[in-house]
Amino acid sequence: MLQYIISFIVLISIVVFVHEYGHYYFAKKYKVGVTDFSIGFGKELFGFNDKYGTRWKICAIPLGGYVKFFGDSNSASQPVSLTKIDKKYHSKLLTTKPLYQRSLIVSAGPFANFILAIFIFSIIFMTVGKDVTLPVISEVNKNSPAQTAGLKSNDQITFVDGKKIESINDVAYLISTSKNDIVKVEVIRNKQILSFNIKPEKKFVKDSFGNSIERKLIGIKISPLKDEVKRERMGPSKAIYLSVKEVWNTISMTLSYLGRMIAGNESANQLGGPIKIAQISGQVAEHGLVPFLSIMAYISISLGLINLFPIPLLDGGHLFFYLLEFIRGKPLSEQVQLYFYKFGMALLMTLMFFATYNDLKSIGLF
């Protein structure tokens, strides 16, 4: 349990620091005053003031962080009315900056998370290497969709839905994320190329860490071709390209899942919160540094993406306000923004409650 807690704190602190530093960097670039740079919420445990007057601090609740700008009424960057700020300090306010500067400052946090993920993946691909193990079917389950369609043992899977299989991990990923009811699987059998149309079935299975997850399955077991596990070290340019591709695929998969969930075609049971993150980070830490860094990259992508959702209090909510300001030619009134902030707070609390409930249910407390 202690290892889980320590792993979670280390992981979330790094991811949050990078996110908040993105905001901080562009705020300083455009001469916006920054009063607080906090990792965690609640009571301050320790901290210091830099020469610019920013309080850098670590707080007791390690579930996020914030950069508080000069003139903000709270850590969510809800601005105080200009009438309450002395005019000689207006130049330090975020609200007085041009629209493009405000947009860059707000969006820099999420994009810093994407850059962190690209950096981590690139380092892994250049040092340890990227998995390029080719898959072959070692077993076809009886009465499974794969057997019904005609797949057989020793078939080498080459394409799923027209996408080339470059790693053994691609098979489950492409089947699980397919948007089609029927998945097209191409194989090589006795030097012949064959194609099969298969309708996957949804089942709850255990992942490599023992967690129950729902996946689309066709009923096969795969193993490395000729029992050869291969990792290929990449040069910098290819590693960065593949890292960007991995980040994009993760974003696309997440958005696709959320879209299906909203449409009622996907269970919401996979949504997790801090307990789930702590559990997974502790489990991967037991498997070594590379798995831990990998999960850090995926958590970083998730944090960046979630913060871009157009929910008041999140970065995406501020960007939504800026979009409306661009369209209208003037910002929303303070009263309207206040209503939006209250709505955003209620929505975020509801989502957090639901995610925590899923976490507790997954570990058997409900």
Do residues 222 and 157 lie in contact, with contact meaning Cβ atoms separated by under 8 Å? yes
Most confident of 43-52, 113-122, 289-298: 113-122
Most confident of 39-43, 281-285, 290-294: 39-43
- CB neighbours of residue 134 within 10 Å: 19
Q: Domain coordinates of the chain in residue numbers?
A: 7-126+298-362
Look at residue 112 and tell me whether its pLDDT is greater than 90.
yes
How would you write the chain as a 3-class SS string? CHHHHHHHHHHHHHHHHHHHHHHHHHHHHCCCCEEEEEEEEEEEEEEEECCCCCEEEEEEEEEEEEEEECCECCCCCCECCHHHCCHHHHHHCHHHCCHHHHHHHHHHHHHHHHHHHHHHHHHHHHHCCEECCCEEEEEECCCCHHHHHCCCCCCEEEEECCEECCCCHHHHHHHHCCCCCCEEEEEEECCEEEEEEECCEEEEEECCCCCEEEEEECCEEEEEHHHCCCEECCCHHHHHHHHHHHHHHHHHHHHHHHHHHHCCCCCHHHCCCHHHHHHHHHHHHCCCHHHHHHHHHHHHHHHHHHHCCCCCCCHHHHHHHHHHHHHHCCCCCHHHHHHHHHHHHHHHHHHHHHHHHHHHHHCCCC
* pLDDT tens figures, 135-192: 899 998 998 999 999 998 999 999 999 889 888 888 888 888 787 889 999 999 998 9
* pLDDT tens figures, 289-300: 888 898 899 889
Look at residue 50 and tell me whether its pLDDT is greater than 60.
yes
Which region among 2-16, 34-48, 278-292, 295-309 has the lowest average model confidence (pLDDT)?
A: 278-292
Residue type, 357: Y
Across the chain, mean pLDDT equals 83
Most confident of 14-28, 136-150, 290-304, 309-323: 14-28
Residue 301 has a pLDDT of 92
Question: What is the C-alpha to C-alpha distance for residues 128 and 168, in angstroms, rounded to an integer?
Answer: 17
Look at residue 60 and tell me whether its pLDDT is greater than 50.
yes
| Residues catalogued as catalytic | 20
Question: What is the C-alpha to C-alpha distance for residues 290 and 58, in angstroms, rounded to an integer?
Answer: 27
Residue type, 36: D
Q: Rounded mean pLDDT of 232-249?
A: 92
- CB neighbours of residue 133 within 10 Å: 20
Question: What is the C-alpha to C-alpha distance for residues 235 and 348, in angstroms, rounded to an integer?
Answer: 42
Question: What is the C-alpha to C-alpha distance for residues 245 and 337, in angstroms, rounded to an integer?
Answer: 37
Share of the chain above pLDDT 90, in %: 34
Residue of 255 and 303 predicted with greater confidence = 303
